[in-house]
Amino acid sequence: MTLDLPDLAAMDAFGARIAARLRPGDVVALSGGLGAGKTTLARGIIAALGHRGEVPSPTFTIVEAYAPPAVRMPLVHADFYRLERAEEAAELGLDDYREGAALIAEWPERVGGFAEEPGCLAVRLEIAGKGRRAIVEPGAGWQGRWP
Ligand SMILES: Nc1ncnc2c1ncn2[C@@H]1O[C@H](COP(=O)(O)OP(=O)(O)OP(=O)(O)O)[C@@H](O)[C@H]1O
Ligand SMILES: [Mg+2]
């Protein structure tokens, strides 16, 4: 399924739509090149889950965690761009962070991707003129939730 995201307002609305359907254990896998809008969409999801204030990009920290009551469910926002080996995700303690939490993953292919998980909502962002386009592929666990 392809979605047109002509501006930042459309991106926020898309983030809110994902947030409304998100459950603990899910992964939102955000792929797309540099500047495609992955962090922007992640911020839209995190804001719609209740977070107020800044959402730092996890470019350098790799992992940022959010906990209730500030957000509706435990949340992990990760950016795997800087990882060189898939095993580094485990070394960071990703499994522990993910316990009972939803994961928003930028550059998921750096750690082997999450396509084998039924709770994976794969979102590929592409630049389209001044805006963006999203190609959304829901895993089996999203049946009845997406679209
Ligand atoms: N739907 C949209 N329409 C227009 N501009 C957008 C849209 N989504 C994001 N942008 C803009 O694109 C720029 C890059 O966005 P962002 O930082 O989210 O990309 P990214 O995919 O996280 O990049 P990187 O891989 O370098 O971290 C930002 O200036 C953002 O405001
Ligand atoms: Mg980014």
pLDDT of residue 111: 95
> Does the pTM exceed 0.85?
yes
pLDDT band at 66, cuts 50/70/90? very high
Answer whether 104 contacts ligand 1 (Cβ < 6 A): no
Instruction: Determine the distance separating the centroid of ligand 1 and the alpha carbon of 61, expressed in angstroms.
Output: 19
Sequence-ordered list of residues with C-beta below 8 angstroms from that of 135, at least 6 positions apart, any chain:
1, 2, 123, 124, 126
Phi-psi region of 92 (alpha: psi -120 to 50; beta: other; left: phi over 0): alpha
Spell out the residues 6+ positions from residue 61 whose beta carbon is closer than 8 angstroms to its own: none
| Alpha carbon of 35 to ligand 2 centroid (Å) | 7
User: Average model confidence (pLDDT) for the chain?
Assistant: 97
Q: Give the mean model confidence (pLDDT) for residues 88-115.
A: 96
